[in-house]
Amino acid sequence: MSHIIDEIRTDLLRTRLARTLIRRTVGLGFVAGFVNTVGFFDLHVYPGIMTGNTVQIGIALAQSDWHLFRLTGLTIAFFFVGAIAGSLIRRHLRRPPLELVVMAVLLLAATPVRTMANAIPFELGLLAMAMAMQGETVSQIGTVSIQTVVVTNNLLHFADTLVGRFLSAPAATEGQGHSRPTVTEVAIPGFAWASYSIGAGALATVAVRAPLLFPIFVVVLLVVDMLLHPETQRVVQMVGASATAGRSGGQQERLRADL
C-alpha cells in the first residue's frame, strides 16, 4: 500500500503536466455532470447521455407514451445536430479548444430560455448541442482516449488501468503486449467519473436562478488555461492510410484535441 501512495505522490502530485491534465479532466467532468442534471431537473431527460435516452425512447414507443417519445427524440436529434456542427467547427479552427467558447455561448443562451413559458424545445436543443460540442472537442486528455460527456467507458477504463498499474505484475502486463499504465493514466478516467458525480451533486445542493452560470465560468477558465499553456494542449493530426498501398483517396485526416 505504501508503494502505491509513493507512486501517486511522485508521479501525480509533484508533476506539473499531470496536475494540469487532472485539473482539466475534473473541470470538464464537473461541467457535464452539472449540465446533465440541469436538463434532468428541468426537462426530465439528460441532454448529454444518449444511451439512457435511447433506452427511454424505446420504452416510450412500447408504452405509447408520446410525450416522452417526443422529448427524448428531440434530445437525440439536437445532440446529433450539435455533434455535426461541432465537427464542422472543429475542422476549421486552428485551436480546437476554442470550440468550448461556442459551447459556453450555447449555455449562456439557455440561461434566460429556462425561465420562459413553453420553451422546453429551445432549452433542450441548446443544452443537448452544448454537450455534443464538448464531446466533439475533447476526445483525448494526455495519452488517454476519453469522453467527458458520459462516464460508462471512463469507469471501465479506470478499472482496466487500475489493474494494469497496481493489481498485476509488470512482467505479466508487458508480456501480453500491453504497456504498463502510468499513474496519470489511471487517475484521468477515475477523476473524470468522480467529477461527473460532483457536478451533479453541486447542482442538487444549490438553489440559484441561473445555475448554468457555474459551468459557463468553469468552461471559460478551462479555455483560458489551455490557451495560456499551449505546451500542454496540442492538436494531433491522425492519418489513417488505406489497407491497399497506392489506392487514391485512401487517407483520412482528423483533428483531435489533446488536452
Average pLDDT over residues 122-148: 89
Average pLDDT over residues 98-111: 92
118: pLDDT strictly greater than 90: no
**What pLDDT does residue 147 have?**
87
Q: 211-214 long-range contacts, Cβ below 8 Å, gap at least 24?
A: 211/34, 211/38, 212/35, 212/38, 212/107, 212/108, 212/110, 212/111, 212/114, 213/111, 214/34
Set of cell numbers at residue 209: 436562478
Compute the mean pLDDT over every residue in the chain, rounded to the nearest whole number. Answer: 82
Name, in order, each residue with C-beta under 8 angstroms of 205's C-beta and a sequence gap of 6 or more: none
**What pLDDT does residue 232 have?**
58
pLDDT band at 2 (very low <50, low <70, confident <90, very high): low
**What pLDDT does residue 230 have?**
66
Bigger pLDDT: 17 or 236? Answer: 17
Task: Judge contact between 35 and 130, C-beta under 8 A.
Answer: yes
Average pLDDT over residues 230-235: 53
Task: Judge contact between 142 and 50, C-beta under 8 A.
Answer: no
pLDDT band at 250 (very low <50, low <70, confident <90, very high): very low
Cα(63)–Cα(218) distance, integer angstroms: 40
Domains of the chain: 2-232 (1.20.1250)
Bridging pattern class, strands 252-258 and 138-141: parallel
